[in-house]
Amino acid sequence: MAVSPLSRAREPVVEVSHLSTRFGDTVVHKDVSLTVYRGELFGVIGGSGSGKTTLLREIILLQRPDAGSIRLFGQETAAMSAADLLRLRRRCGVLFQEGALFSALTVMENAAVPLKEHTALSRRLIEELALIKIALTGLPSESAIKYPSELSSGMRRRAALARAIALDPELLFLDEPTAGLDPISAGGLDELIQRLKGWLGLTIVMVTHDLDTLWRVADRVAMLGEGRIVGIGTMTELARSKEPLIRAFFQGRRGPVKERRWKQK
């Protein structure tokens, strides 16, 4: 699909070019290319085993592809030194699937981890900043002294989001942020993500299978299938696509009905 004139005028923040990935004889990606522009909320969808999480791990520099290139903020990551990669990672935040909080740390201590690792701020200032991030996610103040096991699934996801934004990232990665949440909690998290995007000026890359979330929040979406990008566009454009893999993914109530529902809001 063609990139809209609005997207064309924006600054590329993530550029994936001709990416190929193999695990043994299994081809995960073959010639995958996409661009995420500053200020976008860009979704990545696909069936189980389509390589969504692998692609995310490659973009956030936790895994190297077999071929192709990844540029973040206009910088080619493959040739970077360890020090340059560390500086680049500080400009990014990551919400891992299921939150991945440290169970032995309180919510405030979890949110403080990136600040302790990457800044020389005083303990008092770190705690104050952690509390601010927790407040931004809509958690009540008393949750700061609780442990992850004492929180609901939705609250744990918000706590993990507080940690992901601790360093005021420009680029935020979300891996299945609403997975396992009830509809009310998932809807609340969708609204929070939209607000944080506006408040903090974030560019967001979200890997998800939750089409409800994407109808609510995504500017553009890429679909992976058979190791390649089978379509990129708005949710409306994808829902109307004649590409067989996309049509199968959006079949029934998940496609046109959703489109009508969100247009009415």
Output phi, psi for 115, to 5 deg.
Answer: -70, -40
Q: What pLDDT was estimated at residue 9?
A: 56
The helix or strand, by DSSP H or E, that contains position 23, with its residue range, turns out to be strand 12-23
Q: What pLDDT was estimated at residue 258?
A: 52
Which of 7-16, 96-105, 150-159 shows the lowest mean pLDDT across its residues? 7-16
Which of 14-18, 47-51, 175-179 shows the lowest mean pLDDT across its residues? 47-51
**Which of 198, 215, 217 minimizes the C-alpha distance to 253?**
215
Output phi, psi for 122, to 5 deg.
Answer: -70, 160
Q: What pLDDT was estimated at residue 260?
A: 42
Predicted confidence (pLDDT) at residue 87 exceeds the cutoff of 80 = yes
Q: What is the secondary structure of 240-263 as a DSSP string?
A: T---HHHHHHT-GGGTHHHHHHHH
Query: CA 181 to CA 189: how far, in whole Å?
Result: 9
Query: CA 155 to CA 99: how far, in whole Å?
Result: 10
User: For 151-180, how does the pLDDT look when each residue is reduced to its tens digit (9 = 90+)?
Assistant: 999 999 999 999 999 999 999 999 999 988
Exposed/middle/buried for residue 199 (C-beta within 10 Å: 0-12, 13-18, 19+): exposed
Average pLDDT, the chain: 88
DSSP character for 11?
Answer: P
Across 136-160, average pLDDT: 94
- pTM value is 0.88
Measured at the CA of 75, the angle between CA 220 and CA 85, to 5 degrees, comes to 105
Q: Which residues pair with 232 in a beta bridge?
A: 222
Q: What pLDDT was estimated at residue 96?
A: 87
